Structure 1
Amino acid sequence: MYPELGQFSLILALLLAILLATVPLVGAISGRDHLQAFARPLASGLFVFVAIAFGLLTQAFVTDDFSVAYVANNSNSLLPWYYKFSAVWGGHEGSLLLWILMLAGWTLAVAVFSRRLPSVMIAQVLAVMGMVTVGFLLFILITSNPFERLLPNVPADGADLNPLLQDFGLIVHPPMLYMGYVGFSVAFAFAIAALINGRLDAAWARWSRPWTTVAWSFLTVGIALGSWWAYYELGWGGWWFWDPVENASLLPWLAGTALVHSLAVTEKRGVFKSWTVLLAIVTFALSLLGTFLVRSGVLTSVHAFASDPTRGAFLLGLLAITIVSSLTLYAFRAPVVHTRTRYGSLSREIFLLLNNVLLVAATLLVLVGTLYPLVLDYLGAGRLSIGEPFYNLTFSPLAIAVGLMLGAGIFSRWKRTDGGWLGRRLLWPAAFSLVLSCAGLLVYGGFTPWAFAGLLAAAWVTVTTLLDLWDKSGSRHGRWHGLKRQSRSYYGMVLGHLGVAMTMAGATVVSNYGVERDVRMSPGDSAEIGNLQVTFSELGQRQGANFVAQYGRFDISRDGRLIATLYPEKRQYHVQRNVMTEAGIDAGLTRDIFVALGERVGDDAWAVRIQYKPLIRWLWLGALFMAGGGALAIADRRYRIKVRSEQPATGDSRSRGQDEGVAEAL
């Protein structure tokens, strides 16, 4: 009975989504306030019924209701309860329902927290989000029903959750990633509403900016969690493989980073209006593209969910409708937008524009590298693999250029900057950054061009950010008073910049100075890696809840002193008989020691992978800094100011000195 109630709830949610997509929009076009007023109640009802459906599917997993096909295919009675909960989104149907729940949640959040916006604007925004929800609800009801029954042939037990997904990282990674993916639908909805109104002004950018920043922050954390999971769970010790599905999440992040920059300029100075709207459309389109790649079956990956061509065709149609309709509207509306604000060839506007150009170039690079092999394969022109060497050669220079541009842009001024003054201002930061990067090369043992460039960019961003913070803290009442005067948006920018620097430093050092050894070891053997001695002390076995594991005890010592003991495992799961690797990791702020058991190569000998990973934690710590910067920025009191009219707020009337915004936190 409960699965049928879940199915009925999804049908009711579809009906409410259709009403949300039409009634408020008709009210906005015709000027009927009573029709516009339906937007918020419909958004609330939509969320309630989607949440009921999700709760009933969760209940089916927790109670081992194997009469539901999706539960039978993705769970097992031996599965620990917390993995039963995460198994709800462990397969295609449930993860799609989680996506729709997130979309309904974002719609409800806009309805609740945008009460001060003009009623016409909010009606149009919620109507656009209703249209997107209609598409995904039709998708799940027609092709991906999570409540399909196996009656009367109910299996005695389930097929189990993929062992790769039986991990804490996969409990939190998909919700965070989806919050980012789906959150960009809000920026898209605001952009479409602005195009419908023909009002591409600073006001819509101000309304859209906090929502976009929140989505970008969630996506940042989601990508970092995915990288962290791949590092410790897959047993190879890498943190980014340029897998097409990994790229599918990176694409909207890159475009979204450009979008939050562009929104800052549009809000602050009233420029880049058409460009900002286009970025909002492109960012959400790339989120839909990622959904298509993961769920269409065109990719083979540990991350991919589905291989049903019908599902792929449906998603491709949804993607095409979204892109064609939004770009058609853009083509009609954007050309009439005119910007009266002027700025010089050396100004903060120019630096942010160049920043956008570099980010869009990086997005196009990753997009081509991801899709080109798929297109070749589809056309029967052969198979081509584009991997890490290609991206290291092409993406790395763009990332370094973005970092260098970011540091220079911090000291530029709106409208016009004197070139001589800027050059003198950047002289000492450049010299200090050069010294820091050279010191890093000495510490980690040698010069390589990429290591030097990466460390220089990271040092440059750090030094310029801290120097700007020092300058802004100056006050005739003392530096503490000067720091108190700065806005939360400014401190969000500082955190974001430092996060970028940390991520760049971590990626540079671990890629250029990490050490790896694959050795054959038996209990009692030792191996050297750098100045560390790794001793295989013991081989044992332990029983888990739904697996049996063979583990090795490895003692790590330096100069005869024990510094860590690691227990990497080889697990065999009872139901599917899959064999999985669980690495042993001694984590630290400055380095990780990574040990993984490979295959047995003799009666008591094993292939063992030993890795020394300097600064690898800085990758994920930097992502947390960036996301924290976003959270701090949206707490700025400017976003709680009441909107008294639909007239666009002019950027010139706001404070110029304090709010650089986390949108500049690249």
Structure 2
Amino acid sequence: MISELGHFALVLALAVAVVQAVVPLIGAQKRWSGWMAVADPAAVVQFVLIAVAFGALTWAFVTSDFSLRLVVLNSHTDKPMLYKVSGVWGNHEGSLLLWVLILAAYGSAAALFGGNLPATLKARVLSVQGMIGVAFLAFLLFTSNPFLRLAEPPLNGDDLNPLLQDPGLAFHPPFLYLGYVGLSMAFSFAVAALIEGRVDAAWARWVRPWTLAAWIFLTIGIALGSWWAYYELGWGGFWFWDPVENASFMPWLFAAALLHSAIVVEKRESLKAWTILLSILAFGFSLIGTFIVRSGVITSVHAFANDPERGVFILMILGVFMGGALTLFAARAGAMEAKGIFAMVSRESALVVNNLLLAVAAFVVFVGTIWPLVAEMLWDRKLSVGAPFFDAAFSPFMICLAVLLPIGAMMPWKRAEVGRVIRQLIPALILAVACGLLAWALETGRSAVGPVAAALGAWLVFGALTDLWARTGRGAVGGRLQRLGRLPRADWGRVTAHAGLGVTMIAVGAMNAWATEIIKVVQVGESFPLHGYEVTLNKVEQVEGPNYLSTMAEMAVRREGREVAVLYPEKRVYPVQAMPTTEAALDYGFFRDIYLVIGDPQDNGGWAIRGYWKPLANWLWIGAALMALGGLLSLSDRRYRVAAGAARRAAAPVAAE
């Protein structure tokens, strides 16, 4: 009965979404206030109905209702409760339901907290959100219904994919979807602005918080996925340039570019057309990511489905929304005249370069991701585009971005003197070069990657700190420290995010350049060296978990005779799916990780062991956390909470209709 209620709620949500898509749009066109007012309750009701459906599906998983096909395929009575709940979105149908739930949540948030928006703009934004809801609710109900019943329910389920039975993967998809779907708000604001023919500073101020929230969630989701890949898959890496990894990374790059370009629109009334285009592309690449994950055209450990029919449906959604938005963009290009004028050397120009580097880097990732598919379709050739291509093609853009970012952040608006800015940054430059030279001396000249990354990362960190200090003006140190505490949160957020990027860059360089790996067969009681540590295999035993059987090793890590840690790497087998997984054991440290993996037993009675020494591994997650924290600090700035244009609430928008 509860499942039928959930199914019925989804059908009603589709009907409400149709009303939300059509009625307010007509009302905005005709200036009928009553019709425009329908948008707010429709958005809230749609969210409530989808929440009821999501709650019903969650209840089915928690209670192991094996009359539902989806529960049978993705759950089991012995599965821990956390993974019963995460099993709701650990599959195509349930994850799509979460997708539309978050979409409706954003729409209802705009309805509830968008009271300062002009009535016509708000109605059109919620109407576009309703259109997206119609498309994905139809996709869900007609091709991916999560509430399908079985005529003869089995006694137990098939269990969730063992790779997904992990805390990192339990929380990784919701954060990613909050980011993916959050970019729909930027898209809706862009389309609404194109319909009205109005893009100004107030519009930029309204769209930035939504984009910033989506970027924060994407940052957290990508970091969680990278962390999961690092400790769960057993190969010691944090990024593999997997197509699905790239599918989340491309919208993140476009969202970062959009955040910076919206600043120019807000401050200088320039880059209007480019900002609108970025709003369309950011969400468009989110839809491309959805296609990659759910169509089956590209194989990945992260992919949810491999149904070509579903892929065609998503391509139709992509074509309608992207094609429609780009057509509207072309038609309205003349209405987005730039007002602000700026010199070749200015903060505006620096932000333009920033945007170009981020956008081109995103397109490089897109080409590398999609090229194997294009080669197979056009020339019937199977190609593999791996890390060497991405490292060679993507890295130069990030290096240029890192070099220019501290300089651009400190340039004044409209006109700047590069020499004056660089003079302020000389201490940061000296420290950055010193860090690079120190890294070169410590690594014994094996590679330039580590020192270059250390210098660039330090340049970003010290440049950000210099930027912050420069904003306190001149005078005594005590007075400047007091002014430092009174700086807007947006300034603190920008500096924190830029410093986080620098910390991440240092970690990536260190892990790629200086990590140590050892693979060997070890007998019980035998020891082996690992970058100055001594690792001893004490014992190997069979352990039974709640829904798996484990071969668990006990390994002691010592340095100069002192025990540092005792680690327990595992090799698990999940009987229901007869699938093995590797559970690495890590000793986390501030400057290094000790990473151990146990493999298969060998003919001579030993065990295959893989060990890694990973320098500055945790700096990667610290850097990602700093970037997300920087976004949160900016989002908490009062200037974001009190949107620009509130005083113009009664003013009628200038429409080009």
TM range (shorter): over 0.9
1:130-529 residue pairs with structure 2 within 5 A? Answer: 130-151=130-151, 153-446=152-445, 448-474=447-473, 478-529=479-530
Residue of structure 2 in register with 1:606 after alignment: 607
- Map 1:25-64 onto structure 2 (within 5 A): 25-64=25-64
1:81 Cα offset (Å): 1.2
479-488 vs 162-171, which deviates more? 479-488
Measured after TM superposition, the shift of residue 207 of structure 1 is 0.3
Deviates more, 1:479-488 or 1:26-35: 479-488
The residue type paired with residue 628 of structure 1 is L
SS of structure 2 residue aligned to 1:111: helix
Please list every run of 5 or more consecutive structure 1 residues that lacks an aligned counterpart in the other structure.
Answer: 650-666
Aligned AA for 2:609? V
| Residue-by-residue CA offset, 1:454-510 (whole Å, 9 max, x unaligned) | 222111111111112222234657123211221010010111011101100000001
Amino acid at match of 2:523: S
Distance (whole Å) between structure 2 residues aligned to residue 513 and residue 199 of structure 1: 52
Are residue 644 (structure 1) and residue 643 (structure 2) matched? Answer: no
Is contact 1:400-1:453 (8 Å) kept? no
Deviates more, 1:622-631 or 1:438-447: 438-447
Partner Cα separation in structure 1 for residue 423 and residue 135 of structure 2? 55
Equivalent position of 1:11 in the other structure: 11
Distance 2:446 2:354 in 1: 28
Equivalent residue letter for 2:235:
W
Partner SS for 1:630: helix
The CA deviation at 1:641 is 3.0
> Residues of 2 paired with 1:586 and 1:554: CA distance?
11
Q: Work out the CA distance in 2 between the residues paired with 1:366 and 1:419.
A: 32
Amino acid aligned to 1:214: A
Q: 1:559, CA displacement in angstroms?
A: 1.1
Aligned residue in 1 for 2:71: 71
Moved more, 360-369 or 518-527: 518-527
The one-character-per-residue Cα deviations of 1:181-235 (angstroms, maximum 9, x if unpaired) are 0000001111111111100111111000011000000000000000000111111
Q: Which amino acid aligns with 2:117?
A: L
Match in the other structure for 2:116: 116
Q: TM-score, normalised by structure 1?
A: 0.95
Taking the aligned partners of 1:253 and 1:263, their CA distance within structure 2 comes to: 15
Q: CA deviation at 1:148?
A: 0.4
Q: Which residue number corresponds to residue 621 of structure 2?
A: 620
| C-alpha separation in 2, matches of 1:277 and 1:302 | 34
Amino acid at match of 2:382: R
Deviation of 1:635 after TM superposition, in Å, equals: 1.0
What is the deviation of 1:292? 0.4
Contact 1:237 1:611 in 2 (8 A): yes
Q: Take 1:339 and 1:319, find their aligned partners in 2: how far apart are those partners?
A: 29
CA distance in 1, matches of 2:498, 2:275: 22
- Pick which of 401-410 and 364-373 moved more: 401-410
Structure 1 residues 647-662: aligned runs within 5 Å: none
More divergent stretch after superposition (86-95 vs 332-341): 332-341
- RMSD over aligned CA atoms reads 1.4
1:67-105 deviations in whole A, cap 9, x for unaligned?
Answer: 100000000111111110000011110010011111111
Give the Cα separation in 2 of the matches to 1:439 and 1:320: 52
Q: Distance in 1 between matches of 2:172 and 2:19?
A: 33
> How big is the shift at 1:576?
1.2
Alignment partners' CA distance in 1, 2:516 and 2:7: 53
Tell me the secondary structure at the aligned position of residue 395 of structure 1.
helix
- Counterparts of 1:560-575 in structure 2 under 5 Å? 560-575=561-576
Name the CA distance, whole Å, in 2 between partners of 1:64 and 1:113.
Answer: 38
Whichever residue aligns with residue 116 of structure 1, its letter is N
Cα offset for 1:431? 2.4
SS across alignment from 1:155: coil
For 2:426 and 2:35, locate their aligned partners in 1 and report how far apart those are by CA, in whole Å.
60
Distance (whole Å) between structure 2 residues aligned to residue 445 and residue 30 of structure 1: 72
Q: Which moved more, 1:480-489 or 1:562-571?
A: 480-489
Q: Contact 2:406 / 2:467 at 8 angstroms: preserved in 1?
A: no
Q: Which amino acid aligns with 2:565?
A: A
Distance 1:584 1:420 in 2: 51
Alpha-carbon distance in 1 for matches of 2:231, 2:309: 35
Work out whether residues 475 and 481 of structure 1, in 8 Å CA contact, stay in contact via their aligned partners in 2: no
Q: d(CA) in 2 for partners of 1:41 and 1:210?
A: 22
Work out whether residues 202 and 648 of structure 1, in 8 Å CA contact, stay in contact via their aligned partners in 2.
no
Amino acid aligned to 1:130: G
- Aligned match of 1:576: 577
* 1:552 matches 2:571: no
Q: Is the 8 A contact 1:201 1:648 kept in 2?
A: no
Q: Any conservation in 2 of the 1:489–1:634 contact (CA below 8 Å)?
A: yes
2:198/2:335 contact within 8 Å kept: no
SS at match of 1:478: helix
Q: How many Å apart are 1:36 and its aligned residue? A: 0.8
Listed as ranges, the gaps of 5+ residues in structure 2 are none
State the one-letter code of the partner of 1:27.
G
Compared with structure 1, are the counterparts of its residues 239 and 57 closer, same or farther at alpha carbon in structure 2 (3 Å cutoff)? same
Q: Is 2:468–2:491's contact at 8 Å kept on the other side of the alignment? A: no
Equivalent residue number for residue 125 of structure 2? 125
Kindly state the Cα deviation for residue 336 of structure 1 after the two structures are TM-superposed. 3.0
2:110 maps to 1:107: no
Q: CA deviation at 1:574?
A: 2.2
Per-residue CA deviations over 1:231-286 (Å, capped at 9, x if unaligned) read 11111111000011111111100111101111111111111110000000000000
Moved over 6 A (4+): none
TM-score relative to the length of structure 2:
0.97
Choose 197-206 or 449-458, whichever is displaced more: 449-458
Distance (whole Å) between structure 2 residues aligned to residue 401 and residue 431 of structure 1: 18
